[in-house]
Structure 1
Amino acid sequence: MLTRLSYRINATLERFLPEQRLFLKSDTETRFIRLRPVTQLVAMTGGAMFVAWTIVATAVLMMDSIGAGSSREQSARQQALYEERLNALSMDRDLRAEEAVRAQERFNLALEQVADMQSRLLASEDRRRELETGIEVIQSTLRRTIIERDEARANADQAELALAESTGSARTEEGRVQDSLQTLSLLTEALGETAQERDLMEGAAEKSAEKAEEIMAEKRAMERRNDEIFARLEEAVTVSMEPLDNMFRDAGLSPDDLLNSVRKGYSGTGGPLSPISFSTSGAAASPEATRANAILQGLDRMNMYKIAAFKTPFAMPVNTPVRYTSGFGGRNDPFGRGYRRHEGQDLAGAYGSPILATADGVVIHAGWENGYGRLVKIRHDFGIETRYGHMSQIRVNVGDRVSRGDRIGDMGNSGRSTGTHLHYEIRIGGEAINPMTFIKAARDVF
């Protein structure tokens, strides 16, 4: 029955796949191999499945490569955008600080002018009071002189009558009367000059008051402008600080401890910015000076964050397309040794791909180590150490100082490895932690 079924199938398929014969000729005889329709169908199906599998695998590899490339380009763009933002913020900070200094200088100059005008106003007020006192004295003297003049005239008239009665002449008192008239004329002239000077001083006092009011209005406008500038600077510092704080906290690091370490190592000339200080003659600092100091402290914190970021392994150890093959934690041993702990992150890529230092540091090991193969260890600040294993070539020596992004070796397959990849570790205080914690924490910043 199976033979008949096979015959029917071959007869049906023969319409589309006629029977083929493959002849094999030797020196003594000729043989042939019969390829029935079923055999041809099986061979064609297998070939089609192999071609389909090749196309799918190629598509998957291309998608991984494109995804890794776009992710790297996006990271590079984000890093360039962040650096551009830091530079723009630094330039804006310097400009705002310079504007604040110039505004404070203008404010001090205005205060000096107000103080000078107030001193002149007080001096004019004292002089006005002295003039009023002098005028009162002159007026009382004038009244007394007028009374004495009237009395002198009355006495002169009486003396003239008496003289006329006795001698018939009244010229002996004429000199005295003329002296009194001259004295009265001088006093009247002095009184007029004093009144004019008083009017001039009152006008000067009114102009001084108007000038002082103009200066105070300019001072209030300047304070409003300064408040707007300070508000923009405070907002910019707050917005820029938040992602940095989150990045360090997401990586499991204490921002305050990092900043204290950076502050100790960078406290000399040319390090962090120093707050603005104004001479207050022992008095409390003005609100503007306090806000300016707070802004500069925020910018100082940002500068120290930038230093800490370069000394902390937030960068990727490769800049070529890679595939994350084995993560941190427990896994089945690739050599069949059971369930084991994996203390790093494996990144599979092309043989010879550049391996880069992920932070500034010092090379403490560069050579062969069991399990790791060709291994490089770098000691960073804050008790952090990074390891790069299974290299094909090491390009640094023990004691070398490296910066973030420096090439330290090439990706390979040395040591206990099943294929070309990089074994990347991060250790804090000697204890291994998940490297993806640092890589993911930096994605929103760099």
Structure 2
Amino acid sequence: MPARLAYRIHAFLERRLPEQRLFLKSDTETRFIRLKPATQAIVLGGVALLLAWTVVSTSIVVMESIGSGGSREQALREQATYEMRLDEMSRERDLRAAEAAAAQERFAIALAQVSQMQASLLTSEERRNELETGIGVIQSTLKAAMKERDAARGQLAQLSGTGTAKTANAEPDMADVTGTLEFLTAALDRTAQERDSMAAAALGAEKQTEEVAYEMRLLEERHDEIFARLEDAVTVSMEPLDKMFSAAGMDPDDLIGQIRQGYSGQGGPLGPMLPPLPEDESDARALADHARAGTILDGLDRMNMYRIAAEKLPFAMPVNTSFRFTSPFGRRWGRMHEGADLAGAHGSPIHVTADGVVTHAGPESGYGNLVTVRHAFGLETRYGHLSAINVKVGQKVSRGDTIGAMGNTGRSTGTHLHYEVRVNGKAVNPMTYIKAGKNVF
């Protein structure tokens, strides 16, 4: 049975793929190579498998490239939206701070007016009390004088008949006393009216003070809301950055410490100075707000340090056009392949992946046309097999600058970019940095 099956297969192959002979003729002799049906079938099957594998792998790479490009664009849009949101919250915070300062100023003015009115009211009360006391003393004195006068009149009437003349002479004295009493009564009325007006003014100032205090409470609630939103925004923004540096094998705290040693810049739309501590240390609310503002500013400062570090580290992709990974980092054919190969169209622009200084720009054995860029923290990137070089040695470059074009120079079997990342001279897997920054850039 197996022999019959083999015979049928052989007969089928002979009908479909008849035996071919390849003649090789020279000056002295003629030779031929016989291509049996089975050999032809094996060759065609291998070619078909190779083509199928090429189509499938190319489709996967293209789909991944499209997906990664969409993710990068979405991340850039989200980053721009987040920065706009932070700017708006910063402007709103400054506006609320100005409103709070104005409200505090109005509150202080109202308190000062209330204090003045209360002082005037106390003064008028003291004057009224003094006048009432004086009037009481005068009235008692007048009553005693009138009694003494009446007694003296009676005595005079009894002693002599001149009492009528004496009484007539006393009438002017009585008129003077009446005028004095009327003057004092009018002064007392004026004092009472002044006291009443001051009391009404004090009541109005009291209501105004309550309104200002209510506005202050509303502003405090608004400040709490703004603080909470800023704290949430800083926390959400810091988490992917921490993960990015940790995934690249770097300690974020050590990295920020190194950045601070070599960075002394100031400014930026989101970097206001921390307000001074309140003079009244017993004001727990002001101290708590000051502490929260300090925490938020520290977070924003840390984000700024992260931004500087990200610009100095190779987290970006060197190729932004369509490409496919043809060889990863690691051992290949028994030898160490110290980078990653990215194949694309000839002449595709090559971008530097971090800020740095060009240390080599020209031919290099095995690499062909090579550009080497030195970055911060002992890192170095290499871009090999270029068809063109657009930079010079000693030139400073920024992340995203075009430094050359993809080519096929040096020891290369096809158009591609050989991309390396070295730390203190030792080659590391560049995909570690690219994957770490994938969700951030």
TM-score (norm 2): 0.81
2:160 is equivalent to residue 160 of structure 1: no
Q: Hey, what does 1:171 align to over in structure 2?
A: 168
Q: Hey, what does 2:321 align to over in structure 1?
A: 320
Aligned partner letter, 1:150: K
Deviations 1:303-353 (CA, angstroms, capped at 9, x unpaired): 332222122110111123333333333x243xxxxx333322222334433
Provide the rounded CA distance (Å) in 2 between the counterparts of 1:435 and 1:58.
Answer: 24
Q: 2:141 aligns with which of 135, 139, 148?
A: 148
Aligned length: 414
- Once structures 1 and 2 are overlaid, which stretch shifts more, 157-166 or 42-51? 42-51
Measure how far apart 1:130 and its partner are: 3.1
Cα distance change, pair 439–269 in 1 and its aligned pair in 2 (3 A): closer
Cα distance change, pair 43–252 in 1 and its aligned pair in 2 (3 A): closer
Q: Hey, what does 2:24 align to over in structure 1?
A: none
2:193 is equivalent to residue 196 of structure 1: yes
Are the equivalent residues in 2 in contact too, given 1:110–1:219 (CA < 8 A)?
A: no
Measure how far apart 1:89 and its partner are: 3.2
Provide the rounded CA distance (Å) in 2 between the counterparts of 1:134 and 1:395.
Answer: 94
2:111 is equivalent to residue 115 of structure 1: yes
Q: 1:277 aligns with which of 275, 282, 299?
A: 275
Aligned partner letter, 1:276: L
Provide the rounded CA distance (Å) in 2 between the counterparts of 1:421 and 1:340.
Answer: 19
Helix, strand or coil: the match of 2:385?
strand
Cα distance change, pair 85–265 in 1 and its aligned pair in 2 (3 A): farther
Measure how far apart 1:236 and its partner are: 0.9
Cα distance change, pair 249–103 in 1 and its aligned pair in 2 (3 A): farther
Cα distance change, pair 297–92 in 1 and its aligned pair in 2 (3 A): farther
- Once structures 1 and 2 are overlaid, which stretch shifts more, 219-228 or 54-63? 54-63
Helix, strand or coil: the match of 1:276?
coil
Measure how far apart 1:430 and its partner are: 2.2
Give 5+ residue unaligned stretches, structure 2: 21-35
Q: Hey, what does 1:30 align to over in structure 2?
A: none
Measure how far apart 1:186 and its partner are: 1.5
Q: Hey, what does 1:294 align to over in structure 2?
A: 295
Provide the rounded CA distance (Å) in 1 between the counterparts of 2:271 and 2:126.
Answer: 60
Provide the rounded CA distance (Å) in 2 between the counterparts of 1:297 and 1:126.
Answer: 47
Aligned partner letter, 1:273: G
Are the equivalent residues in 2 in contact too, given 1:152–1:177 (CA < 8 A)?
A: no
Provide the rounded CA distance (Å) in 2 between the counterparts of 1:265 and 1:96.
Answer: 33
- Once structures 1 and 2 are overlaid, which stretch shifts more, 305-314 or 229-238? 305-314
Q: Hey, what does 1:77 align to over in structure 2?
A: 73
Measure how far apart 1:220 and its partner are: 1.0
Measure how far apart 1:229 and its partner are: 1.1
Are the equivalent residues in 1 in contact too, given 2:93–2:223 (CA < 8 A)?
A: no
Measure how far apart 1:414 and its partner are: 3.0
Provide the rounded CA distance (Å) in 2 between the counterparts of 1:74 and 1:354.
Answer: 19
Provide the rounded CA distance (Å) in 1 between the counterparts of 2:114 and 2:125.
Answer: 20
Are the equivalent residues in 2 in contact too, given 1:258–1:308 (CA < 8 A)?
A: yes
Deviations 1:333-385 (CA, angstroms, capped at 9, x unpaired): 3xxxxx33332222233443322211111100112222323221101122211
- Once structures 1 and 2 are overlaid, which stretch shifts more, 198-207 or 110-119? 110-119
Provide the rounded CA distance (Å) in 1 between the counterparts of 2:143 and 2:280.
Answer: 66
2:131 is equivalent to residue 138 of structure 1: yes
Deviations 1:52-108 (CA, angstroms, capped at 9, x unpaired): 547624532541352243134224313422432343234224323322432332343
2:177 is equivalent to residue 180 of structure 1: yes
Q: Hey, what does 2:208 align to over in structure 1?
A: 211
Aligned partner letter, 1:325: T
Q: Hey, what does 1:104 align to over in structure 2?
A: 100
Are the equivalent residues in 1 in contact too, given 2:385–2:407 (CA < 8 A)?
A: yes
Cα distance change, pair 160–96 in 1 and its aligned pair in 2 (3 A): same
Q: Hey, what does 1:368 align to over in structure 2?
A: 363
Provide the rounded CA distance (Å) in 2 between the counterparts of 1:231 and 1:358.
Answer: 36
Provide the rounded CA distance (Å) in 1 between the counterparts of 2:133 and 2:161.
Answer: 38
Provide the rounded CA distance (Å) in 2 between the counterparts of 1:147 and 1:105.
Answer: 58
Measure how far apart 1:442 and its partner are: 0.9
Residues 188-267 of structure 1 aligned to structure 2 (within 5 Å): 188-267=185-264
2:60 is equivalent to residue 64 of structure 1: yes
RMSD: 3.5
Measure how far apart 1:132 and its partner are: 2.9
Cα distance change, pair 134–320 in 1 and its aligned pair in 2 (3 A): closer
Cα distance change, pair 209–93 in 1 and its aligned pair in 2 (3 A): closer
Give 5+ residue unaligned stretches, structure 1: 23-38, 334-338
